[in-house]
Structure 1
Amino acid sequence: MGVIAYDMEITSSIAPAKMFKAFVLDSDDLIPKILPQVIKSAEIIEGEGGAGTIKLITFGKGSQFKSVKHRVDGIDRENFTYSYSIIEGDTLMGMLESISYEIKIQTTPNGGSICKNSSKNHTKGDAQITEDQIKDGKDKAAGMFKAVEAYLLANPDAYN
């Protein structure tokens, strides 16, 4: 098994606490509401929401994938960090054991935020991931983050 890692950063004018509430803590409800073509639903199938919780994410009609199981690995509400792993589902494409993510939302000098996302793709055997597949994953993550940002800008009283 190999590990293919990549990092990405996305900036926002939204303060970290508000972005963390919307993008992480309420994502199971918010993302299907604002991006139903991407995520149809997210439901907890085991646990209480903290570390060890297993969620079933069902993708929308616009997705090439059907569903994934997502395990919460850690959550720190004070430091705005969240880690989780995709442990099952067709997004693993039969070539990955799992994908681990670590998200950290930090304050920028202008009062906005920067989302730092680290990803580790744990491959089966000598499977390889192409640059296009990595770019596609980054683009999808950035698109969801920017959709949450747009929602928060359009609804300034949400998540205060």
Structure 2
Amino acid sequence: MGVTIFKQEFASLVPPKRMFKALILDSHNLIHKLMPQAIESIEILQGEGGVGTIKQINFAKGTRYSYMKHRIDSLDVENFKCKYTLIEGDVLSKEIEYIDYEVEFEKDLSGGLGCVCKMRSEYHTFQGFEINEEEIRTGKNRAIGMYKVVEAYLFENPAAYDDH
């Protein structure tokens, strides 16, 4: 088995707690409403949102894929970190066995209210297969696009996912 690691990060004007709540804790309620052209629904198949929870993302009709399932492996709400694994779906190819993800929202250290979103992906391939890095980059750019859509929604709706 081979492992290929990708790292990405982007800065956001939205505080880390709000980004974490929207993108990690409540994604099953929010994402398909913001991106119905890409995601039809997100269902919790097992669990209540914490470690061990399995979510199924159902893609919109006419898109390249039909579904994928993620399992939450680690959830640190106080530090805005999550680890999860893509365990099933047609997103996985004959080359990729599974994908581990780590997402962390860190407070902007420059004194701003925003955050830096750090993402790490480990692609575990079956023996003898090489990963197509261009396809992976395309997928990662789509993920960043989804984060940017959520960021725009939160920026335009300051009371959404705010505890105050």
TM over 0.5: yes
Residue pair 2:87, 2:98 contacting (<8 A) in 1 also: yes
CA distance in 2, matches of 1:82, 1:120: 14
Q: Does residue 126 of the first structure (1) align with residue 101 of the second (2)?
A: no
Q: Does residue 6 of the first structure (1) align with residue 6 of the second (2)?
A: yes
Which residue of structure 2 aligns with residue 75 of structure 1?
75
Shift of 1:128: 1.5
Which residue of structure 2 aligns with residue 45 of structure 1?
45
Residue pair 1:37, 1:62 contacting (<8 A) in 2 also: no
Residue pair 1:47, 1:53 contacting (<8 A) in 2 also: yes
Q: Deviations over 1:105-157 (max 9, x none)?
A: 00112221110000000001121222211211220111011000011111111
CA distance in 2, matches of 1:136, 1:104: 21
Which residue of structure 2 aligns with residue 154 of structure 1?
156
> Which residues of 2 match residues 2-41 of structure 1 at below 5 A?
2-41=2-41
Q: Flag structure 2 segments of 5+ consecutive residues without an equivalent.
A: none
Shift of 1:90: 0.4
What amino acid is aligned across from residue 70 of structure 1 in structure 2?
A: H
CA distance in 1, matches of 2:151, 2:97: 31
Residue pair 2:100, 2:122 contacting (<8 A) in 1 also: yes
CA distance in 2, matches of 1:100, 1:62: 27
What amino acid is aligned across from residue 119 of structure 1 in structure 2?
A: S
CA distance in 2, matches of 1:62, 1:11: 32
Residue pair 2:25, 2:49 contacting (<8 A) in 1 also: no
Q: TM-score, length-normalised on structure 2?
A: 0.93
The root-mean-square deviation of aligned C-alpha atoms, in Å, is: 1.1
Q: Flag structure 1 segments of 5+ consecutive residues without an equivalent.
A: none
Shift of 1:25: 0.9
Aligned length: 160
Q: Calculate percent identity across the aligned residue pairs.
A: 47
Q: Deviations over 1:57-112 (max 9, x none)?
A: 11113520000111111111000001111101100012211011000000112221
Q: TM-score, length-normalised on structure 1?
A: 0.96
